[in-house]
Amino acid sequence: MKTADRVIVALDFAERDKVVALLDKLPELSFVKVGMELFYSEGPGLVTMLKDRGLQVFVDLKIHDIPNTAHKAIEALSRLGCDMLNVHCAGGLEMMRRAREALSGQTKLIGVTILTSIDQRTMNSQLGIPGTIEACVLNYAAMAKAAGLHGVVCSPHEVQALKSHLGKDFLAVTPGVRPAGSAAGDQRRSMTPAEAITAGSDYLVIGRPITANPDPGAAFAEILREIEVVM
Ligand code: C5P
Q: What is the pLDDT of residue 183?
A: 73
CB atoms closer than 10 angstroms to residue 215 = 11
Residue of minimum CA distance from atom 12 in ligand 1? 35
Q: How far apart are CA 56 and CA 29, in angstroms?
A: 9
**Model pTM score:** 0.95
Atom number, ligand 1, closest to the C-alpha of residue 206: 3
Choose one of 205, 208, 223 to mutate for the ligand 1 pocket test, by most ligand atoms within 8 angstroms of C-beta. 205
**56: Cβ contacts below 8 Å, ≥ 6 apart:** 5, 30, 31, 32, 83, 84
The whole-number average pLDDT for the span 69-92 is 98
**207: Cβ contacts below 8 Å, ≥ 6 apart:** 9, 10, 12, 33, 175
Q: What is the pLDDT of residue 184?
A: 73
- Ligand 1 centre distance from Cα of residue 31 (Å): 15
What band does 187 get if pLDDT is binned at 50, 70 and 90? low
Q: What is the pLDDT of residue 103?
A: 98
**156: Cβ contacts below 8 Å, ≥ 6 apart:** 174, 176, 177, 189, 190, 191, 195, 196, 199, 201
CATH number of 3-230: 3.20.20.70
More reliable by pLDDT, 189 or 192 = 192
Spell out the domain ranges in the chain.
3-230
Residue of minimum CA distance from atom 10 in ligand 1? 10
- Ligand 1 centre distance from Cα of residue 110 (Å): 14
Choose one of 9, 12, 154 to mutate for the ligand 1 pocket test, by most ligand atoms within 8 angstroms of C-beta. 12
Q: What is the pLDDT of residue 60?
A: 98
Active site residues: 62
The whole-number average pLDDT for the span 157-179 is 95
Give the helix/strand (H/E) hosting 138.
helix 133-146
Q: Model confidence over 99-142: pLDDT tens digits?
A: 999 999 999 999 999 998 899 999 999 999 999 999 999 999 99
- Burial of residue 68 (number of CB atoms within 10 Å: 0-12, 13-18, 19+): exposed
Q: What is the pLDDT of residue 45?
A: 97
The whole-number average pLDDT for the span 15-19 is 97
Contact 228, 3 (CB under 8 A): yes
Does residue 186 have a pLDDT over 90? Answer: no
* Count of alpha carbons within 13 angstroms of residue 183, beta-carbon side: 8
**131: Cβ contacts below 8 Å, ≥ 6 apart:** 124
* Mean pLDDT value across the chain: 95
* Overall residue count recorded for the chain in this entry: 231
